Amino acid sequence: QVQLVESGGGSVQAGGSLRLRCAASGKTYLRHCMGWFRQAPGKEREGVATIDTGGLSTYIADSVKGRLTVSQDNANNMYLQMNSLKPEDTAMYYCAAYQGSCPFWVVGITAGAFRYWGQGTQVTVSS
């Protein structure tokens, strides 16, 4: 089991940047697929990025490719660097994980595969 805590959200103007952090604790010595999801009011939850803690392979959804990147450090933190932010990026951002490796997400990141979730951090982008 792992526990996840997000931080780094806030309010920025369009074109700005934010860096979200997901701090993981618990059985982090096991291989996990970790991901970032977002959900705007009235919209479905969208997976935007994953990283495999074992192989460090990453996946970025087409909708955010070129603007968002995912990374991790050696202290069990996962990051989501968000550049050139747009008002449509406004959402609650969640960190999630499940034990095992990340697959190649053929049709997009499947939220149902993720067992562990954080509480979320709000990102608001104003025009």
pLDDT tens string 16-69 = 999 999 999 999 899 999 999 999 999 999 999 999 999 779 999 999 999 999
Edge-to-edge strand order for the sheet containing 68-72? Answer: 2-7, 18-26, 77-82, 68-72
Residue 104 predicted with pLDDT over 90: no
Q: Is the pLDDT of residue 76 over 80?
A: yes
Long-range pairs of 56-60 with CB within 8 A, sequence gap ≥ 24: 57/102, 59/102, 59/104, 59/105, 59/109
Longest CA–CA separation in the chain, Å:
42
Q: What DSSP state is assigned to residue 106? A: T
Give the CA dihedral 83, 54, 31, 80, nearest 10 degrees: 0
Split at pLDDT 50, 70, 90, the class of 12 is: very high
Question: Where would I find the H helices in 18-113?
Answer: none
